[in-house]
Amino acid sequence: MAEKAIMKGNEALAEAALRAGCRFFSGYPITPQTEVLEYLSWRMSEVGGELIQTEDELTGLHMLIGASLAGSRVLSTSAGPGFALFHEGISYICGCEIPAVLVDVQRVGGACGGISASQGDYEEVTHGGGNGDSQYVVLTPASVQEEVDMMKEAYEIAEKYRNPVVILTDAIIGQMMEGITLPDFADIDIDKFDYTYKELKDGEDGIQRGGYPGQGFPAYAAHMGAKYKAMKEAEQRWENIEVSDADVVCVAYGISSRVCKEAVRKARAKGIKLGLIRLITAWPFPEKAFAEINPDCKGLLAVEMSIKGQMVPDIKLATKCNMPVYGYFSLDVVPDADVVVETAEKIIAGTCEEV
Amino acid sequence: MLKEIICAGFGGQGIITTGILISYCAFETGSQFTWYPSYGAEMRGGTANCTIKISDEEIASPLAKDIDILIAMNGPAIDKFESSLRPGGYLFVNSSLITDRVYRNDVNVIEVDTAALAEEANNPKGANIAMIGALIKKTGIMTFEGCSDAIEKYFTEHGKAKFNEANQAALKIGYNKF
């Protein structure tokens, strides 16, 4: 039954995965994502599923492949350093057209980095992919409720396209508690797809004929190209707030977008026309959202907890470089709504430097 | 109206639970809330803190900037957070542990002898719940009835219903003392 609860983002995401029908998890703990494993280590067996803590993230990701090909809804989660190890497996999962849901609870820094919050994995997750033209939908929750809601959505997208889906979240959303509504348990038939392994009937040889054996790369390329194009067209998700008359429009996702929402309220109360495009998918980048902006808008303000401003190239492409782009990049501290408003004022006054 | 609360003290004093209980009270009485822990190398005897924000409206960042209410269960909590209290804010001091200190004169200081109140309630582990009683009485941020129901529900859901009577006694004594 749907029920109200108070949960941490990581635990809510784990419970939501089970309610969406996930019955297989393989992966490795890392702060700030450890609560996902901790929670599933007792909860998974209650619902009759399997959890395996593997020796590393690489193995965790490859174990998913078998479980998914047997029809199970599968999950692995990590933070940036572990997600780096996911990429080899991601290429395999994309190339073999295997549904899977993966999560990156972002933490700060390159190499091992630190355990505090950041949004420095945007490029790694959104454009990193793996070798050989791999691509997948990236969902960006901004609340504990969205961590829950996006889990079901992620499995539906993954199965619709036979492709992995990544939920790109961060330490703040993962560690914080909010009040949520959990959905009912979904009833998933693990034999619903013709491509998954099944018990053999008399006279069957058990040889898998999924994918494109013997057809060569041209047929494969045409098929995958059409699939990525369909995903790009159909799966853009965003939330636009007061953009149609805005002089400055923030672009943000996750925890930074919550701050920008507050900044829009504060700015509007002062008579400053600030708006917000909140990304709900980082890939496909919601280019359609930009068509709704006031054409006389003075600039776009990328707000992100990173060093480089990793969304900026995507923003420039989405606007065909027709609008100046500015940045407020706070790396390991949550952006400050007052600074967002001040930066917007500088953009309007013409005293802010473009990125 | 947004209220920013920080709850801080030693690991093992029930700091994280106190924050969760305040969150439960907010949730059950129909408010929006966020709860955010200090995480990392926290351990028993070290310092722990969590931030709770309560509002009628959507909450942006779960981190606090200008604290309305500081619940300080030990001295280091005051050292760390007193300066972030907004003028007119509330400083709840666990006077069982913290004595002879001089506080800012532009905030409301409420000294709560949590150990004595817990003893009075015959609930030696109820010091933090007595503190919640004092908190809701002095600030009026939530109703006594709403919090009483929420705390009972929390412990029942967590398999600790046998402590309900003692916890309710601690809440009531903390509330009635102020």
Is-contact A176 B34, C-beta < 8 A?
yes
Burial class (CB in 10 A: 0-12, 13-18, 19+), A59: middle
Contact A176 B61 (CB under 8 A): no
Residue A244: both structure tokens together: 């149609």
Comparing CB atoms, the residue among B27, B39, B63 nearest residue A6 is B27
Residues of B with CB under 8 A from a CB of A: 20, 23-24, 27, 32-37, 39-40, 58-63, 65
Integer angstrom CA distances of residue B4 from A90, A257, B77, B92: 42, 20, 16, 14
Cβ–Cβ below 8 Å for B34 and A6: no
**B170: helix, strand or coil:** helix
Q: Give the Cα separation of A35 and A65 in Å (integer).
A: 23
**Given this model, what pLDDT does residue A217 score?**
85
Q: Maximum Cα–Cα distance for chain B, whole Å?
A: 43
pLDDT at A209: 59
Judge whether residue B131 has pLDDT over 70: yes
Element spanning B21, H or E: helix B15-28
Q: Provide the CATH topology of domain A239-349.
A: Rossmann fold (3.40.50)
Average pLDDT over every residue of A123-152? 95
**Sign, CA torsion A61/A62/A63/A64:** positive
* A12 and B CB contact within 8 Å: no
Q: pLDDT tens digit string along B43-92?
A: 666 778 999 999 999 999 999 989 999 999 999 999 999 999 999 999 99
Give the model confidence (pLDDT) of A216-254 as tens digits. Answer: 888 889 999 999 999 999 999 999 999 999 999 999 999
In what helix (H) or strand (E) does residue A234 lie, and over which residues does it extend?
A: helix A216-234
Q: Which amino acid, B53?
A: K
Six-digit token string for B90: 């509330």
Residue of A3, A4, A6, A180 to mutate, testing the B interface (most B Cβ within 10 Å of its Cβ): A6
Residue B87 DSSP SS3: strand
| Structure-token pair, residue A170 | 């961060």
Average pLDDT over residues A318-340: 97
Count of A-B CB contacts under 8 Å: 51
Q: Considering only CB atoms, which chain A residues are within 8 Å of B40?
A: 31, 115-116
Determine the Cα–Cα distance for residues A15 and A1; give it in Å rounded to an integer: 13
Low-confidence winner among A285-289, B28-32, B94-98 (lowest mean pLDDT): B28-32
B116-127 tens-digit pLDDT: 999 999 999 999
Residues of chain A with C-beta less than 8 angstroms from the C-beta of B20: 6, 177
Q: B96 vs A2, which has greater pLDDT?
A: B96
Q: Where in chain A is the domain with CATH 3.40.50.970?
A: 3-197+208-234
Chain B: nearest CA to A7, how far in angstroms? 10
A255 touches chain B (CB under 8 A): yes
**Rounded distance, CA B107 to CA A8, Å?**
32
Q: Please tell me the distance in Å from A223's CA to the nearest CA on chain B.
A: 42
Are B20 and A177 within 8 A, CB to CB?
Answer: yes
Q: What's the start-to-end Cα distance of chain B, in Å?
A: 23
| Residues of chain A contacting B58 with CB distance shorter than 8 Å | 261
Amino acid at A317: L
Determine the Cα–Cα distance for residues A330 and A335; give it in Å rounded to an integer.
Answer: 6
Q: Are A268 and A155 in contact (CB under 8 A)?
A: no
- pLDDT of B169 > 80? The answer is yes
Q: Is A239 on the interface with B (CB under 8 A)?
A: no
As a whole number of angstroms, the distance between CA A146 and CA A301 comes to 24
Q: In whole angstroms, what is the distance from residue A284 CA to residue A287 CA? A: 8
The per-residue pLDDT for B97 is 95
Residue A211 has pLDDT above 60, yes or no: no
CATH of A3-197+208-234, one of 1.10.3720.10, 1.10.630.10, 3.40.50.970, 3.40.190.10: 3.40.50.970
Rounded to whole angstroms, the Cα distance separating A56 from A39 reads: 19
| A214 pLDDT more than 60 | yes
Q: Is the model's pLDDT at B39 over the cut of 80?
A: no
**pLDDT of amino acid A6:** 94
In this prediction, residue B65 carries a pLDDT of 87
Q: What's the alpha-carbon Rg for chain A, to the nearest Å?
A: 21
Nearest to B24 among A6, A262, A336 (CB): A6
Percent of chain A exceeding pLDDT 90 equals 89
Q: Do A172 and B23 touch (CB under 8 A)?
A: no
- Give the tens place of pLDDT for each residue, A42-53: 999 999 999 999
Q: Do A179 and B32 touch (CB under 8 A)?
A: yes
Yes or no, beta carbons of A177 and B32 under 8 Å apart: no
Cβ contact A6–B20 (<8 Å): yes
Mean pLDDT value across chain A? 95
Residue showing tokens 């149609």 = A244
Residue A145 has pLDDT above 90, yes or no: yes
The percentage of residues in chain A with a pLDDT greater than 70, rounded to a whole number, is 97
- Quickly state the pLDDT bin for B41 (edges 50, 70, 90): low
What's the CA gap between A18 and A185, in Å, rounded?
A: 7
A112 to chain B, minimum CA–CA distance in Å? 15
Q: Does A339 touch chain B (CB under 8 A)?
A: no
Instruction: Give the gap in angstroms from C-alpha B65 to the nearest C-alpha of chain A.
Output: 9
Contact A243, A317 (CB under 8 A): no
The answer to whether A132 faces chain B, any CB pair under 8 Å, is: no
pLDDT attached to residue B40: 62
Angstrom distances, CA of residue A37 to CA of A54, A56, A65 = 11, 13, 19
Question: What six digits make up the tokens of A333?
Answer: 């501290």
| CATH number for the domain whose boundaries are B3-176 | 3.40.920.10
Mean pLDDT of A171-188: 96
Could A31 and B39 be called an inter-chain contact, meaning their C-beta atoms sit closer than 8 Å? yes
Give the model's pLDDT for residue B45.
67
What is the three-class DSSP state of A116? coil
From chain A, the residues in CB contact with B33 under 8 A are 177-179
**Six-digit token pair at A346?**
């500088």
Residue type, A23: R
Residue A1 above 70 pLDDT? no
Chain B residues whose CB is inside 8 A of the A179 CB are 27, 32-33
Are B33 and A179 in contact (CB < 8 Å)?
yes
**Closest CA of chain B from A297, distance in Å:** 25
Mean pLDDT of A283-312: 97
Mean pLDDT value of segment A144-162: 98
Q: How confident is the model at residue B42 (pLDDT cuts 50, 70, 90)?
A: low
CB contact under 8 A, A31 and B40: yes
Mutate to test the interface with A, among B4, B17, B31, B36 (most CBs of A within 10 A): B36
Angle (nearest 5°) at CA A182 between A258 and B20:
65
